[in-house]
Chain A
């Protein structure tokens, strides 16, 4: 495992992150759903279980 190889690894990882970074703000936006949903009439949407399920759904 050389320094050149490590730099290449980081560069490839950074390239992949640059291509897909928009998914991060999308996840952040989805995180507001448990806060907004009760005000839009869906009371169960504020349940912590919904928030947890959302995290799991968006992540893994």
Chain B
């Protein structure tokens, strides 16, 4: 109130009624008039604020007044900026009002344009301002300062150039103010834009990475080095051999991409709008990785993705169509047109992963529903031509169970991760079962009552089961029908997850606990197991670069494809992306490092 009153009256009010000539008629420099009046306004505002605070802060109503509460630097800095901003705004308003000129309309139009620019370039401005101010968090608490300083500078030019002429004063103030505000906005957002033009070499650490099933393109998420590193997690497609890359945006904005079978295309959805219940709009992007200059293009979709439900993408075997899987529906789009071929609603329940392309005519999908007591999974064959559904079987599963299918869809693994009710300290009791992939009939039990389990079908048809028991971690290799071939002790670990198969008959496993987001722990290690001899090669300090906690990597690929570049990608304890050579055991650092 004081800031508004004094900011309005000290210069603008006196200019409007012609009393400012009293000062200019004397041998007083312009800056003394400007500085004297505005400093009095600022001083009065601060003093009134403190005077109002003293009685109640000194009493027992609030906490007693302490010197350090008055000298709290961030608080004082914030309040000083607020006072300057309010005084400056009131002053500018008084000059504009007092001039009675049509320039006020231009001021309002420029104000609207500036506010729109501020909104439109918001993220760029935040990153630019963080870099300029050496901040490691958003500078939104200090945004009043640049505007306040621009207002003060404009008021100085106004007093210097306008003197006692109200209209000339207004023009000088407006020209200076809007020049400074637009130039500042352009400079900071330009700097922010430059900071966001990340290349793979700018990554200080890699959070995770996944490779294409063929070729050497990979998907990388990491933090950049430098001041904005903890805030900015760029997402890139990267080809290690050539150094070529495609920027995909930032993590959280873009879904993990799905690669086509030949590794020449990648598809992802970018979120356009976020609402209170999740995202409400998304756009499909296709990356062409085969050309000399890999590029990202948007594809208009005939039917937009449904809102809220997290979407997952998968290319058809020939790469000429794309499946969008959501809980409520499967939708197949033709490529490159983006025209929708069909939508298969989930009818009752919801579609769950995985979806398996059986051939060029059919895919197999799984629909889960629960009636409150039992949870069922229905096995459905969907024709790619028209989306017609043919249920072929069903099986009863736990609510938290997850499914792993063979590439042919003939066999199905079910991982049950169960937590007994009423036993607060009980460890989860998990099990794995093998089923017929068409009818869902139980073929055999693979593991019972273990503390944790991971299992999958290997490229040669055998089954790998990594299980945790009281004694530690163990890898069991089973034949196609579930009969045990070999059991290998992995050591006293509490977590074990299956990694990729870099070569036939050799399997990587991640043993943990492993870090999820931040590098640092040495407790995590990787082992390369020779499935024929049972020989184990330990690789301490690295973990699979594609953690299993992120299920939405691609419908077909819960693990890296056998023999792919992704099967050899690991993250070191300090966050570097490392490629392990399964033959020589050498480590090649691909990205990261401070």
Query: Chain A residues in contact with chain B, CB under 8 A?
Result: 1-2, 5-6, 8-17, 20, 23-28, 30-35, 46, 48, 51, 54-60
Select A31's contact among B35, B55, B63, B83, beta carbons within 8 Å: B55
The DSSP consensus for interface residues of chain A is helix
- Count of residues in B whose CB is under 8 Å from the partner chain: 42
Q: Which of B37-81 contact A (CB under 8 A)?
A: 37, 39-41, 43-57, 59, 61-63, 79
Q: Please name 22 pairs of A and B residues whose Cβ atoms are closer than 8 Å in the assembled complex, sorted by A.
A: A5-B29, A9-B32, A10-B36, A12-B23, A13-B37, A13-B40, A14-B40, A23-B48, A28-B52, A31-B51, A31-B53, A35-B59, A48-B63, A51-B61, A54-B52, A54-B56, A58-B52, A59-B1, A59-B52, A59-B79, A60-B2, A60-B45
Report the bound CA distance from A20 to B5 in whole Å.
10
Q: How many Cβ-Cβ contacts under 8 Å join chain A to chain B?
A: 131
Report the bound CA distance from A24 to B53 in whole Å.
12
Select B31's contact among A9, A10, A17, A34, beta carbons within 8 Å: A9
Known: A8-B28, A51-B61. A32 touches B56 (CB 8 A): yes
B259 to chain A, nearest CB (A): 54
In contact, B40 and A17 (Cβ under 8 angstroms): yes
| Across-interface contacts of B47 in A (CB, < 8 A) | 24, 27
Select B61's contact among A6, A20, A48, beta carbons within 8 Å: A48
Known: A5-B29, A34-B55; 16 extra A-B contacts, CB below 8 A, are A5-B31, A8-B29, A13-B36, A20-B40, A23-B44, A27-B49, A31-B54, A32-B55, A32-B56, A35-B56, A54-B52, A58-B1, A58-B2, A59-B48, A59-B49, A60-B79
B397 at the interface (CB under 8 A from A): no
Report the bound CA distance from A54 to B55 in whole Å.
12
| Across-interface contacts of A32 in B (CB, < 8 A) | 55-56
Known: A16-B10, A48-B62, A59-B48. A9 touches B35 (CB 8 A): yes
B158 at the interface (CB under 8 A from A): no
| Across-interface contacts of B63 in A (CB, < 8 A) | 48
In contact, A13 and B39 (Cβ under 8 angstroms): yes
In contact, A59 and B46 (Cβ under 8 angstroms): yes
In contact, A5 and B28 (Cβ under 8 angstroms): yes
The residue on A at minimum CB distance from B55 is A31
Known: A10-B36, A12-B40, A31-B55. A46 touches B61 (CB 8 A): yes
B269 at the interface (CB under 8 A from A): no
B152 to chain A, nearest CB (A): 15
| Across-interface contacts of A56 in B (CB, < 8 A) | 49
Report the bound CA distance from A56 to B50 in whole Å.
10
Report the bound CA distance from A20 to B527 in whole Å.
78
| Across-interface contacts of B52 in A (CB, < 8 A) | 27-28, 30-31, 54-55, 58-59
Known: A46-B61, A48-B61. A16 touches B36 (CB 8 A): yes
